[in-house]
Structure 1
């Protein structure tokens, strides 16, 4: 398995006022990967619905050897584990709807890279099916953390033992925004925020099966004038309309509408 060259990775810490990256230490000679032949792998598999496509997986490796040095607001030296980002494109398994990447746990090399976390998910491959100039928005994402460090988007929402199986409900969300210029997006609405984060330090297999309810479309229109009392308007699949201060839809309402329509409520 081949790897791309090093990419720039933004590091978020709780220190808050850390200044820019100053220097790398410990591995000036070679920061490349060199996974051992007898490596162990974590298989990440995504079952992709017809309307969606699998996103490129964003994989983070860490090194306790090749640290980087920065300084806080008081000028004190701070050493953090080195980061290395790798993009990996999931491969289709035969003629199935399953797409998979096998992540080497041991990245090897002089820096002794170790797998830290992966960000992956599904998105709309053809957003213009919802109208001309419609762009693909966020949603349908998953982050899995394999060590005791936070991901680029923070800590875990849930922790599991052993292999991880994720099945979650999602809905198409067509949104229009007007402030700062008109934009129409097709996003994927799920429970909570756009990314659900899991910690699975003992997992060797991760399986993600998004349950995409494409017939239950949600639409929203943002405010055109920013003033007190103006709120985004959400039109739910059953035709009900709500003005809501929240930036995201009411997931429980979406679920209730679908379950009632399917005779499950």
Structure 2
């Protein structure tokens, strides 16, 4: 009968030791909670939380370059939807720190963020790109995005500014996407070992969009051209917008009002 099992199941049984019987989550009723809150501005939507639990009881078996057996903590990932709080712009989810079960799961990290709700406002067939993401690690393990991020004491409050970034690419096939240009990488990463409250407030400056057009031919000297909200065009080899320039343009425009 084992030979007839799908390969994915065989891998699962082989990779989790000590809890093949029941590796499901079963948070105890009295488990301490972590609350994740996202303040969602107009034009954006809250993305689904990707929540990871880990277990030192249910090991994950892998092998090194020379074939040696390596035991790692097992992991269990689930998706959680943020729930709108009344008619406000706050969306919230409560996560149990203890996942319980036979594997004695513990909360390891969460990935969440915001995205454009209606990308087609920037044109037909425009899709959402990237940006506006957050990774929070609650233990000593690296996140699926790599590393543990900036260390934070106590609860975590994040307030970041973003600008619409509309990109047109041609190499490898045409696409047009709108992303969120902010300070730093696509995902902001933090390690918050003591946090019980995680609050994220993205501030979107919709009227200060930046546009970029990729060269149609890969050739020395060809660079992506960025058109900033003030009309200036820059093609200096950058792969993403100059956030400081965007800030300066917006602040100068607002000071004239």
TM bin (shorter chain): over 0.9
Equivalent in the alignment of 2:180: 188
1:97 aligns with 2:89: yes
Distance 1:258 1:142 in 2: 24
User: Secondary structure of 1:203's partner?
Assistant: coil
Over the aligned positions, Cα root-mean-square deviation in angstroms equals 1.3
2:185 aligned with 1:178, yes or no? no
Counterpart-to-counterpart distance in 2, 1:259 and 1:133: 32
Show structure 1 runs of 5+ residues with no match.
1-7, 9-20
Contact 1:22/1:70, CA 8 A, preserved across alignment: no
Spell out, residue by residue over 1:161-207, the C-alpha distance to the aligned partner (whole angstroms, 9 max, x if none): 00111000100000000011110001000112100101100000000
User: Residue in 1 aligned with 2:202?
Assistant: 210
Aligned to 1:231: 223
**Larger helix proportion, structure 1 or 2?**
2
Measured in 1, the distance between the counterparts of 2:15 and 2:101 equals 20
> In the alignment, which residue of structure 2 is the partner of 1:49?
41
State the match for 1:168 in structure 2.
160
Instruction: Say whether 1:31 aligns with 2:23.
Output: yes
Inter-partner Cα distance in structure 2 for 1:213 and 1:152:
29
Q: Encode CA deviations 1:140-159: one digit per residue, 9 max, x unaligned.
A: 00111100111001113311
Question: 1:219 — aligned with what?
Answer: 211
| Alignment: residue pair count | 245
- Note the C-alpha offset of 1:39: 1.1
Q: Secondary structure at the match of 2:88?
A: coil
For residue 22 of structure 1, report the CA deviation from its aligned partner.
5.7
